[in-house]
């Protein structure tokens, strides 16, 4: 099991193949994605990597947060996520994971918070057909209909599909294809749409239901940490 990555959604575009076919893609950007810490089975009961992405002003951090970043000599990160990994796929602290961590043609699982739609009716929220257009139905054509049974059980069960808040939930889309990557610019192009608004943080992992390609880098495609990188303590005073 390899580590996933934290990416930021740039938006959607399309690319053209040599045959002239256009492919809609979502562009994700990796921004200074670095390893911040390890979680080991002996100490924590499980094996995982703590990753951080983006940048954040040191003045906006608490004292304990500044100390934790200064301890690993990594600049403050905006987004922190843990990824479960196999013990043999641990990566050294401070290493930067690049976009070629995934290979073209590979399938991945993408997790994000989808766009909020506010309060919506049952037809839009649950794809109900609504009531009949004629034969005694008036005014309530878009109503969801009956919500219960009879005197027994005499209640509406929890989880009943009704009108309510739609969207703004954590969603995972499985088995989406990596079209191409650009390690120099930190870009990953994924076929089709992924959950989330522009600028949202997206988690990308190897697909759980599809085998990992043989040419995928293990434990990861990394760029070694540079010693001249500014520590987190600068500017905090």
Domains of the chain: 5-116+170-223 (2.40.30.10), 117-143+157-166 (no CATH)
Residue 67 has a pLDDT of 86
The end-to-end CA distance of the chain, in Å, is 40
Radius of gyration of the chain (CA): 23
Task: List the chain pLDDT tens, one digit each, 237 residues.
Answer: 899 999 999 999 999 988 999 999 999 999 889 999 899 999 999 999 999 998 888 888 888 888 888 888 888 899 999 999 999 989 888 889 999 999 999 999 999 999 999 999 999 999 999 999 989 899 999 999 889 889 999 999 999 999 999 999 999 999 999 999 999 999 999 999 999 999 999 999 999 999 999 988 888 888 866 544 544 444 444
Q: For position 70, what pLDDT does the model report? A: 87
Distances 35 to 21, 29, 79 between C-alpha atoms, Å: 38, 17, 12
Distances in Å between the Cα of 163 and the Cα atoms of 16, 106, 119, 120, 143 are 41, 38, 7, 6, 9
Task: Name the token pair of 125.
Answer: 């929220």
Note the pLDDT of residue 112: 94
Alpha-carbon span 119 to 22, nearest angstrom: 36
Strands 48-53 and 34-39: antiparallel
CA distances from 27 to 3, 20, 191 (A): 20, 20, 9
Q: What tens digit of pLDDT does each residue of 184-194 get? A: 999 999 999 99
The number of beta carbons lying within 10 Å of the beta carbon of residue 206 is 19
């Amino acid at each position: 099991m390899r580590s996933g990555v934290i990416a930021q959604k740039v938006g959607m575009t399309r690319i053209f193949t040599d045959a002239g076919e256009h492919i809609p893609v979502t562009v994700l950007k990796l921004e200074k994605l670095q390893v911040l810490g390890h979680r080991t089975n002996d100490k924590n009961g499980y094996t995982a990597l703590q990753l951080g992405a983006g940048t954040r002003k040191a003045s906006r951090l608490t004292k304990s947060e500044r100390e934790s970043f200064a301890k690993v000599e990594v600049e403050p990160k905006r987004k922190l996520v843990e990824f479960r990994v196999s013990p043999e796929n641990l990566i050294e602290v401070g290493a930067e994971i690049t976009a070629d961590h995934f290979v073209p043609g590979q399938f991945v699982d993408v997790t994000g918070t989808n766009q909020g739609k506010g309060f919506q009716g049952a037809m839009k929220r649950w794809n109900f057909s609504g009531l009949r257009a004629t034969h005694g139905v008036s005014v309530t054509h878009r109503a969801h209909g009956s919500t219960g049974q009879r005197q027994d059980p005499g209640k509406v069960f929890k989880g009943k599909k009704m009108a309510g808040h739609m969207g703004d939930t954590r969603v995972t889309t499985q088995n989406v294809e990596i079209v191409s990557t650009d390690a120099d610019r930190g870009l990953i192009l994924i076929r089709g749409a992924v959950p989330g608004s522009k600028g949202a943080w997206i988690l990308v992992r190897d697909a759980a239901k599809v085998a990992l390609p043989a040419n995928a880098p293990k434990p990861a495609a990394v760029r070694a940490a540079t010693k001249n990188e500014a520590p987190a303590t600068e500017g905090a005073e």
